[in-house]
Structure 1
Amino acid sequence: MDKEDARQQSLEQLHERRKQVVQLHKSDLGIMQIVELSGLSYPTVGNTIKLFEAGGWPAIKPAARGHQHGEGRRLSVDQEAAIGRIICDSRPEQLKMDFYLWSRAAVGELIRREYGIELGMRTVGKWLKRWGFTPQKPIKKAYEQRPEAVRQWLDEHYPAIEAQAKAEGGEIHWGDTALVNTDVRGRSDAPAGKTPVAYAVGGTRQKLSMIATATRQGKMRWMIIDEAFNADRLIEILASLIKEAKRKVFLILDNLRVHHSKPVKA
């Protein structure tokens, strides 16, 4: 008789087969006889009997397979929440870090400093994406709204900016603003037709502003703002961006009114 592979069975099926093994074992049959009668492998039968003898019927119930939600993460849920609050409430320079704006490198350094945990840039990026901190591509919205005007600007004006930046050893950044909703519930597995419920403390939902910049080389910098975005806050991030880049910055923004305000142009 071909032996069944217990790994290919559902947890319910495996549980029933283990019950059968125990019943045969209690009938004083030997392991080899149970193997022949059940069609299960010798290790599966032997392990089932050991589990039963050690813990009775509850012990033979199969455990859930694979990683449980949150298992294997280097940061605990509380640690992740704490890091998220720091990013929202502070800038790196306020924390006496060697960064002026938040980036994956800055967040990685913050995690190392707070918890002594070293995380790779890719892991930090996944964490930020899961919590809604990924900067949007700055020109995506503009392309969708006025593709002809954007194409004309790229063809007629951008080459001169690119040439000037290269000649002066500068760096071109594309900037945009976005909203970050702190009510991030994600997804959860549940039986079909039964929507999972996520409980939260009432009145804690917030919407924060985020201004972010990105270069064509993939460098991203951002700052979380918990109040109205105005000229003063834009000037603040411009100053930090220049400090971070350590060279001349060519920042390309959209036509938001605050971008053309007198304090910004001064």
Structure 2
Amino acid sequence: MRLDSARLSGGDARRGSLGDARRQAAHWCRRNRAGGDGTVAAARRRYGVLTRAQELRLIETIRDRFPDQLKLTGPLWSRQTVAALVERLYGIPLSPAATARYLRAWGLTPREPVDRACPLCAASVVRWQAQEYQAISHTAQRQRAELCWAGKTRLHGVTPATDVVSAVSARGRIRFMVTTEADLPREFLTRLLPTSGRPAHVIVDGSWSCTEWPRRVPEGVVLHALPTCERGR
């Protein structure tokens, strides 16, 4: 509920207004990340070889499931496993380029760190990238660890409400899951761990607040928070 500054003392009114402004900025910032850039409306897609009904069935098939649960290779979804599932479901050999178009429409594209923030957070992210990210990157290299960026986008035109949770490696490799879970899924983080047993460093954008991270982070996974309005600057 908005504070009425006329009913506050001068100092309290200023603090109340500032607090409101910060909350509103954080709310807008989060909406911008979760639903503004890179989201998809399945009903509006016009290209590709799948009909809308086929695409929706594809999403329904992989929602809250992993490839190995459908007897496909890989702990998380990728361009290759999506193409394999499309051929199984519809007998359609989806080309790598066509598969990539679908994934881009679902919001699965490599992004620069500053592109993962709203304009209010951009300066903080630039400073963070020049300082803290360098230390994270050096640690990952020393440990020969997986280093990736995690975020999510909302799939519009899909019921129930569904998000694509993705991880993009430093080399541009994209892995993802489609889920109705609002919090950062623990199982997703577990499946990011390399089979070699090495650790995984995951930079989490503002798609989730820290309270939405798993209470027990999987062993071997190290989470790093990208600066956002909610987390301070």
TM-score tier, shorter chain, comes to 0.5 to 0.7
| SS of residue matched to 2:117 | helix
Q: CA deviation at 1:259?
A: 5.3
What is the aligned length?
171
Residues 84, 225 of structure 1: alpha-carbon distance in 2 compared, 3 angstrom cutoff: closer
Same amino acid, percent of matched pairs: 24
Q: TM-score, normalised on structure 2? A: 0.61
Q: CA deviation at 1:207?
A: 2.0
| SS of residue matched to 1:82 | helix
Q: 2:188 aligns with which of 237, 240, 258?
A: 237
Which structure shows the higher strand fraction? 2
Q: Which residue of structure 1 aligns with residue 165 of structure 2? A: 211
CA offsets 1:157-183 (integer angstroms, 9 cap, x no match): 111211121222222101112222125
Q: TM-score, normalised on structure 1? A: 0.54
Is the 1:138–1:214 Cα contact (8 Å) retained in structure 2? no
Is the 1:108–1:120 Cα contact (8 Å) retained in structure 2? yes
Residue identity matched to 1:117: I
Q: CA deviation at 1:108?
A: 1.0
| SS of residue matched to 1:112 | helix
RMSD: 3.1
Matched, 1:174 2:149: yes
Q: Which residue of structure 1 aligns with residue 132 of structure 2? A: 157
CA offsets 1:213-263 (integer angstroms, 9 cap, x no match): 112322111111124x23xx5211111111578643110013512355542
Q: Which residue of structure 2 aligns with residue 195 of structure 1? A: none
Q: 2:59 aligns with which of 84, 103, 110?
A: 84
Q: Measure the CA separation in 2 of the matches of 1:150 and 1:74.
A: 39
Structure 1's consecutive aligned runs of 4 or more residues displaced over 6 angstroms after TM superposition are none
Larger radius of gyration: 1
Q: Measure the CA separation in 2 of the matches of 1:240 and 1:170.
A: 14
State the structure with bigger RCO (CA 8 A, min sep 6), 1 or 2: 2
Q: Measure the CA separation in 2 of the matches of 1:94 and 1:80.
A: 20
Q: 2:117 aligns with which of 142, 161, 169?
A: 142
Which structure shows the higher helix fraction? 1
Residues 101, 265 of structure 1: alpha-carbon distance in 2 compared, 3 angstrom cutoff: closer
Q: Which residue of structure 1 aligns with residue 80 of structure 2? A: 105
Q: Which residue of structure 1 aligns with residue 217 of structure 2? A: 264
In structure 2, the gaps of 5 or more residues are 1-45, 220-233
